Structure 1
Amino acid sequence: MTTSSERQSQIKTKLLAGNHPVSASAFARELHVSRQTIVGDVALMRARGEKIIALPRGYAYEQPSTQTAILVCKHMAADAKDELLRIVKLGGVVKDVEIDHPLYGQLRGTLELETENDVNQFINKMEDNHGQLLSSLTDGVHTHTVGYETADQLEQIKESLRSAWYLYE
């Protein structure tokens, strides 16, 4: 049986070596422990300063974009997939979603959606789990931190969202 320290070292090695997220369940199978044990190991690693983020597809190390912008959006839940696809199809990365909740203040969910496949997996997982978008708590108003490479790319993303009436201005 591996120790917590050994598991954490293996988790770190695999996440740093890979270019895709790894789920807690996959780590649990590989390391012959429970999923909850992996969740606890990752929590301990984060507490020590490791920049591990939980994505809809699993754990990964945070990858900073060259530049980011915060875009305020508003739309119905049925439009979420279209909104996200408009961003990633233009090369943007949807880093997160955030709302201002009247009771809890700012609530943020890490997304790190980079591709159409990422968006489809996120939407499918939400539907399979009968989940609700954070924006359902704020009548559709939310922000996204969007990673981008050039000012022109950011303008194209904004214009695409604007043309669909998703950009809240």
Structure 2
Amino acid sequence: MEGIDRRKRICKILGQQNEPLSATRLAQAFGVSRQVIVQDVALLRAGGTQIVGTSRGYVMPEKDSVTRVFKVRHTDEETRDELNTIVDQGGICEDVFIYHRVYGVMEGKLNIRSRRDVDNYIHEIETGKSGLLKNATSGYHYHTVRAESESDLDLIQQELSDKGYLAPLQDYEPVD
């Protein structure tokens, strides 16, 4: 199969998936190496195709959706509740990032869409050797949240506010 055809099929497959699909699985499906898939995705991105890479694989964001960045602060123990609040109201937590005054912006892709994703994420944090990114900035961090409508994002914002998780923005922070 030619590269152009393979890239078209990659887009079609990712567009039909609700869960991330790894480069390894795509490589097996097409009978090529994982590196070929990684290069294909890089070419697709360079051409303007929206493909998000997560720790679990590639995913294409929904076409008819909106995003908003929320600045939040909470304890480690409240992380599960914060993420469940987002997904329970129809949000997708695309990432977590911090603004560190020395290192600048540091980001991790999440693509958390469901309570199962939240449970998997918490399990990885609890059993891994790394901690939560928020702990490098006294608990302050940001999430880019995707939803179907502004009213869904408004509901998520209200829920996060009601639980005391929203934090005020400072003038020097790199988000609107």
Bin for the TM-score computed over the shorter chain = 0.7 to 0.9
Q: In the TM superposition, what is the alpha-carbon distance from 1:156 to its structure 2 partner?
A: 4.1
Which residue in the other structure is 2:10 paired with? 11
Q: Is the 8 A contact 1:83 1:166 kept in 2?
A: yes
Stretch moving more, 46-55 or 30-39 = 30-39
Q: Could you give the per-residue CA deviations for residues 95-146 of structure 1, whole angstroms, max 9, x where no partner exists?
A: 3222112344223333332221222233334445434332222221111122
CA positional deviation for 1:3: 4.8
Q: Output the amino acid matched with 1:137.
A: A
Q: Which moved more, 1:44-53 or 1:106-115?
A: 106-115
CA distance in 1, matches of 2:15, 2:63: 14
| CA 66–29 in structure 1, closer or farther in 2 if over 3 Å, else same | closer
Aligned counterparts, 1:44-123, within 5 A: 44-64=43-63, 66-123=65-122
Q: Distance in 1 between matches of 2:7 and 2:65?
A: 29
User: Could you tell me which amino acid in structure 1 is paired with residue 145 of structure 2?
Assistant: V
Show the counterpart of 1:27.
26
Could you say what the CA RMSD is over the residues aligned between the two structures, in angstroms?
2.6
Change over 3 Å in CA distance of 1:45–1:68 after alignment to 2: closer
Following superposition, the deviation at residue 155 of structure 1 comes to: 4.8
What pairs with 1:146-157 in structure 2 (closer than 5 Å)?
146-148=145-147, 149-151=149-151, 153-157=152-156
Distance of 1:137 and 1:105 partners within structure 2: 12
Which residue of the partner structure matches residue 137 of structure 1?
A: 136
Moved over 6 A (4+): none
**Structure 2 residues not aligned, in runs of 5+:** 169-176
TM-score of the superposed pair, with normalisation by structure 1: 0.79
Deviates more, 1:59-68 or 1:71-80: 59-68
What secondary structure is seen at the aligned counterpart in 1 of 2:12? helix
Structure 1 position 165 matched with structure 2 position 164: yes
Distance in 1 of aligned mates of 2:124 and 2:9 = 27
Note the alpha carbon deviations across 1:12-56, whole angstroms, 9 max, x for none. 221123343211121122223333332222122211211111134
Q: Secondary structure at the match of 2:96?
A: strand
Residues in 2 aligned to 1:96 and 1:159: alpha-carbon distance in whole angstroms: 20
SS state at 1:45 partner:
helix
Identity %: 35
The secondary structure found in structure 2 opposite 1:146 is strand
> In the superposition, relative to structure 1, how do residues 122 and 40 fare at CA in structure 2: closer, same or farther (>3 Å)?
farther
Aligned length: 167
TM-score between both structures, scaled by the size of structure 2: 0.76
